[in-house]
Amino acid sequence: MRHPTRRVGTRIGRSLVALATITALPSAIAAPPAAADGQPAAPASAPYLDQRLPVPKRVDDLLRRMTLEEKVGQMTQAERGAVDGDRDQITALNLGSVLSGGGSVPADNTPAGWADMVDAYQEKALATRLRIPLLYGIDSVHGHGNLVGATVFPHNIGMGAARNPGLVREIQAITAKETRATGPQWIFGPCVCVVRDLRWGRSYEAYGETPELVGQMETGIEGFQGRRPSDMRKPEHVLATVKHYAGDGDTVFGSSTTGDYTIDQGVTVTDRRTFMKIDVAPYVTAVRKYGVGSVMPSFSSVDWKEDGVGNPVKMHAHKELLTGVLKGKIGFDGFVISDWAAIQQIPGDYASQVRTSVNAGVDMFMEPYSAPQFVETLLAEVRAGRVRMSRIDDAVRRILAAKFKLGLFERPYTDRRYADTIGSPAHRAVARRAVAESQVLLKNRGHALPLKRNADVYVAGVNADDMGNQAGGWTVTWQGQSGDIIPGTTILDGIEQYSKNVTYSADASTPTSGSDVGVVVVGETPYAEGVGDVGNGHTLNLSDADKANIDKVCGAIETCVVLDVAGRPQIVTDRLSKMDAFVMSWLPGGEGAGVADVLFGKRPFQGRLPVSWPRSEDQEPINVGDRDYDPLFPYGYGLRTRRGHHH
- Catalytic residues, by residue number, are 339, 529
Cβ pair 134, 121 in contact under 8 A: yes
Using alpha carbons, select from 64, 130, 60 the residue that is nearest to residue 96. 130
Check if the beta carbon of residue 183 is closer than 8 Å to that of residue 117. Answer: yes
DSSP string, 567-585: SS--B-TTTGGG-SEEEE-
User: Which H or E run includes 269?
Assistant: strand 267-270
Give φ, ψ of 317 to 5 degrees. -115, 5
Amino acid occupying residue 306: E
Q: How far apart are CA 550 and CA 545, in angstroms?
A: 9
Distance CA 479, CA 438 (A): 23
| Element containing residue 565 per DSSP (H, E) | strand 559-565
Compute, in degrees rounded to 10, the torsion defined by CA atoms 585, 589, 591, 592.
40
CA-CA-CA-CA torsion for 222, 165, 214, 358, nearest 10 degrees? 10
Helix H or strand E encompassing 365: strand 365-366
Q: Is 307 helix (H, G, I), strand (E, B) or coil?
A: helix
In total, the chain counts a number of residues equal to: 647
Question: What residue type is assigned to position 503 of the chain?
Answer: T
Q: How far is the C-alpha of 182 from the C-alpha of 422, rounded, in Å?
A: 9
Q: What is the DSSP letter of 263?
A: S
CA distance 181 to 503: 41
Bridge partners of 137? Answer: 99, 186
Are 251 and 268 spatial neighbours (Cβ–Cβ below 8 Å)?
A: yes
Beta bridge partners of 517: 457, 559
Q: How many CA atoms lie within 13 A of 637 on its CB side?
A: 18
Separation between Cα atoms, residue 533 and residue 297, nearest integer Å: 20
Q: What whole-number distance in Å separates Cα of residue 585 and Cα of residue 563? A: 6
* Cis ω for the linkage preceding 312 (within 30 of 0): no
Q: How many Cβ atoms from other residues are within 10 Å of residue 278's Cβ?
A: 22
SS3 for 81-99 is: HHHCCCCHHHHHCCCCEEE
